[in-house]
Amino acid sequence: MSVTTSTGGRHFLQIPGPTNVPDRVLRAMDFPTIDHRGPEFAALGKEVLEAVKAPFGTTQPVIIYPASGTGAWEAALVNTLSPGDRVLCFETGHFATLWQKMATEMGLEVDFVPGDWRHGVPPEAVQEKLAADTGHEIKAVMVVHNETSTGVTSRVGEVRQAIDAAGHPALLLVDTISSLGSIDYRHDEWGVDVTISGSQKGLMLPPGISFNAISDKALEASKTAKLPRSYWNWEPILAANANGFWPYTPATNILFGLKEALKMLDEEGLPNVYARHTRHAEATRAAVRGWGLEVLALDEREYSGSLTAVLLSDEYDADAVRELILREYDMSLGAGLTKLAGKVFRIGHLGHFNDLTLAGTLAGVQMGLVRSGVKIDPTGLQAALDRLQQP
């Protein structure tokens, strides 16, 4: 293996999360530990619990756990469901598959609809499944909003319309781990019952905290849910949160970072944040198509604003391309996961990100593709720059 030729400058971390943490957020966390039972912390707790509602698009409570997004998955299930309950899931990618696996291991009956990993949740299939469930045995529909492994974004608003059209009372549980703070999301408007998320992507924080935004319907379901819960139990957390506290030690310094990250999103304005991500995604897809390569997502209504998965033909190894780019240009790209291993690489364009970061990223990808012997049209980079030069 040759040595890295690029030793100066900062590493380009262009995976779809954890993302780059802004200096402002790093400085906010570089703060002496405070008493998590004292009045200073109570003020911080109340402030972040209110401010964090905005990216979720909710006025309802948002619970913050010292945990990864996987913990928030579990919290959503154990607070709303009972052993033997039936849930409806869709195979949209690696993380949707893992979430349904968790549901199965927890004693739920999972109706897992197969998919090709190139499309999101089909609303018409949701309506068909629920309309056929005349006994209302299905208690929840589980949807991954933005599938991090594929760069496909499911149409959650249309899924809600499908549930309503079927006249079905199932809860709607949605994973926004790689979309929150990057892609327009509307917990209240779309009638989502539990929204799951994590800190390390669009919120521009290190891994370490995760979230459940909950509806009144979900809170009511939690009163009769019988899956075992202790750490994840909403009730004692909500009671403590009313005074700005947690029933256990919270991730104090990450909460300082969360306060600053939410302030940055507010200063830019969430509509502008979403528009920026859409624009960068369009420029990335322009480059991919300009190179003569294929975007993994097939439905233009489901293109992700957070990341783009690039599909290579069978004659090339996507992992070898990533390894060369890391070695020669000091840039990390996302790997293909499970059934996509070696077939795709993923370009993250979310979080603390601007036009020049994207231009540098795509230049590095183009150089890496050429160095790897992948046959491409080198005008792909210019196609992306042309898009970036548009308002």
Cα-based angle 171, 177, 182 (whole degrees, multiple of 5): 110
Q: Residues, the chain, total? A: 391
| pLDDT of 132 higher than 90 | yes
pLDDT tens, position by position, 165-179: 999 999 999 999 999
H runs (alpha helix) in the chain: 23-29, 39-51, 53-56, 69-78, 94-105, 123-132, 156-165, 216-222, 234-241, 252-268, 270-291, 318-329, 355-371, 380-388
Average pLDDT, the chain: 97
Residue 219 tokens, joined: 């809170």
Q: Residue 1 — pLDDT band, cuts 50, 70, 90? A: very low
| pLDDT of 5 higher than 70 | no
Residue 119 tokens, joined: 């499309």
Nearest by Cα to 222 from 105, 110, 61, 76? 76
Point out which residues pair with 62 in neighbouring strands: 213
State the pLDDT at residue 387: 97
pLDDT tens, position by position, 292-346: 999 999 999 999 999 999 999 999 999 999 999 999 999 999 999 999 999 999 9
Q: Which amino acid is at 100?
A: Q
Q: Which residues have a Cβ under 8 Å from the Cβ of 309 and sit 6 or more positions away? A: 149, 150, 151, 295, 296, 297, 334, 336, 340, 344, 345, 346, 347
Compute the distance between CA of residue 152 and CA of residue 156 in angstroms, rounded to an integer.
12
State the pLDDT at residue 8: 84
Q: Which amino acid is at 367?
A: M
Instruction: Kindly state the average pLDDT of the residues 108-130.
Output: 98
> Does the pTM of the predicted model rise above 0.95?
yes
pLDDT tens, position by position, 54-73: 999 999 999 999 999 999 99
Considering the chain, what percentage of its residues have pLDDT values greater than 70?
98
Compute the distance between CA of residue 84 and CA of residue 81 in angstroms, rounded to an integer.
9
State the pLDDT at residue 3: 46
Nearest by Cα to 259 from 28, 82, 14? 28
pLDDT tens, position by position, 351-379: 999 999 999 999 999 999 999 999 999 99
Q: Which amino acid is at 155?
A: R
State the pLDDT at residue 276: 98
